[in-house]
Amino acid sequence: MLKKLILAATVLSLAACAFDQDKNAGKQREIEQNGKLQQTYKPVIGTYVGQITTADGTQDLEVKFFELKVDNGAKNSDGSTRLHSTLYATYKRINPAGESYDFVVGFAPETGDLTLVNVKDIKSLGRDEIQTVDAKISGNNILGEAKAISGPKGIVKLSLKARENESTGGGKEEFAYYERLRAQLTAISGTYVGQMDQGNSGPVKGVVGITLRLYVQETVKEGSTVTIPRLMGELNRADDPGHTADLTLTGVYEADLAEPRLTLTGKPARDLNSKFEAAIYGKLVNGVLEGALTSNYSMSGKLILKKQ
């Protein structure tokens, strides 16, 4: 009997060891795979500066490539989340100041090909927002083409400014960048009044008065004293005295174009979790916003609003 108990204990002990080894092996494979990916990304990671040349002129850029570990939805044998090393980039217009874009990056080290894809869902991108950048890295230089839903945007040329963890004087530059952006957004802030022509077909018809208020909202960047300006908007219809159809909007202002463009997207102010989504897209020249409002329901029409 004693021999049988000893044998059973030995078998259980060996099984437990095998299970622990399997758990450790899975985690070790994750570490090794991520280590290889990090070495692959190393020639790209860093801060690059340069320009994008478009039909409307030239804009100064800063693009930062960096590695993040993300949850790929899989689990290790011990039940822990399996993390996958992924290359990302942040693209920022420096002068004229503009909105930044975040991209997930594909890199082929054999050819030097880089593919940057905007992390935003393509359905939520404005027609002229950059969706992809197809590029190639050669040494410390990157050359590529930026594309939007509306078509090609321009040629991007970048040169390495600093590798990872090297000082770039980024604090002062970041502060100056947000100051330029703040000045641009403050210049267009205010109340715009006008009309929206909803046409003569569909459930909502005719011309309705519209009031749009644009303002700058400041948020403190996590881990710093830098404040980030963000363009916000509130829209009200004249036929809605109870403000049940008011919209809360966030905006992107492209001041560097020959005819500066404004894009606003948002939801009902009373229910930000609503499935209703609206967007305003148009040109903003000399205090006049001319464009269109669209939505995933019946609210839509052509807009002409003047700053008061």
Confidence band, pLDDT 50/70/90 cuts, at residue 76: low
- pLDDT at position 167 is 45
- pLDDT at position 85 is 85
Percent of the chain scoring above 70 in pLDDT: 82
| Range in 8-12, 198-202, 271-275, 286-290 with the lowest mean pLDDT | 8-12
Asked whether the predicted pLDDT for residue 289 surpasses 50, the reply is yes
What φ, ψ does residue 232 adopt, rounded to 5°? -125, 160
- pLDDT at position 12 is 52
pLDDT, tens only, 31-43: 777 788 888 899 9
Asked whether the predicted pLDDT for residue 271 surpasses 50, the reply is yes
Sheet strands (E) in the chain: 46-54, 57-75, 81-95, 100-108, 113-118, 130-138, 141-148, 151-162, 190-197, 207-220, 227-237, 247-254, 261-268, 278-285, 288-295, 301-307
Determine the Cα–Cα distance for residues 216 and 265; give it in Å rounded to an integer.
15
- pLDDT at position 188 is 95
pTM: 0.61
- pLDDT at position 201 is 61
Q: Mean of the per-residue pLDDT values for the chain?
A: 83
| Range in 15-19, 53-57, 265-269 with the lowest mean pLDDT | 15-19
- The answer to whether 262 and 291 have CB atoms below 8 angstroms apart is yes
Three-state secondary structure call for residue 17: helix
- Sign of the C-alpha dihedral, residues 140, 144, 147, 152? positive
pLDDT, tens only, 113-163: 999 999 988 877 777 789 999 999 999 999 999 998 889 999 999 999 988
- Give the pLDDT mean for 271-295: 90
Structural domains of the chain sorted by starting position, each given as residue range(s) with its CATH number in brackets: 41-162 (2.40.128.120), 170-307 (2.40.128.120)
Q: Tokens in use for 18?
A: 């095998």
Determine the Cα–Cα distance for residues 59 and 256; give it in Å rounded to an integer.
8
Determine the Cα–Cα distance for residues 146 and 52; give it in Å rounded to an integer.
8
